[in-house]
């Protein structure tokens, strides 16, 4: 009876496979017992977060405008304050102009 080479190859592969399986079972490291880590827990507290930064410097306005009057006089009343937002036509101040007041009084008296 002649030996079939395919059988020998299959037998060789099966023996190698069994050897590899046996090796992996024997050389498997022992399992370590699970360790339990204990932690402490707290209930969260609601607090205000405060962060203060002190710096030195100079603040400059975004836009600066010079306001001038057509006549000289004294400020009788100031209708706005520093930082107020204005729009075109807003009354900023009322001036007391003595020369114009005298001229108006003279014109009214002459009528």
Mean of the per-residue pLDDT values of the chain: 84
pLDDT at 64: 83
What is the pLDDT at residue 30?
Answer: 66
Query: What is the average per-residue pLDDT within 62-88?
Result: 85
- Say if CB 67 and CB 61 are below 8 A apart: no
Query: Which residues, listed in sequence order, are joined to residue 93 by a DSSP beta bridge?
Result: 78
Q: What number is the average pLDDT over the span 72-77?
A: 84
């Amino acid at each position: 009876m002649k030996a079939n080479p395919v059988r020998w190859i299959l037998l060789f592969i099966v023996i190698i496979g069994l050897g590899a399986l046996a090796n992996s079972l024997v050389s498997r490291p022992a399992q370590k017992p699970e360790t339990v880590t204990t932690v402490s827990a707290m209930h969260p507290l609601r607090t205000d977060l405060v962060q203060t930064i002190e710096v030195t410097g100079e603040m400059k306005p975004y836009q600066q405008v010079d306001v001038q009057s057509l006549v000289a006089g004294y400020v009788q009343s100031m209708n706005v304050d520093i930082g107020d937002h204005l729009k075109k036509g807003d009354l900023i101040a009322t001036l007391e102009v003595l020369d114009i007041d005298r001229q108006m009084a003279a014109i009214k008296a002459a009528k």
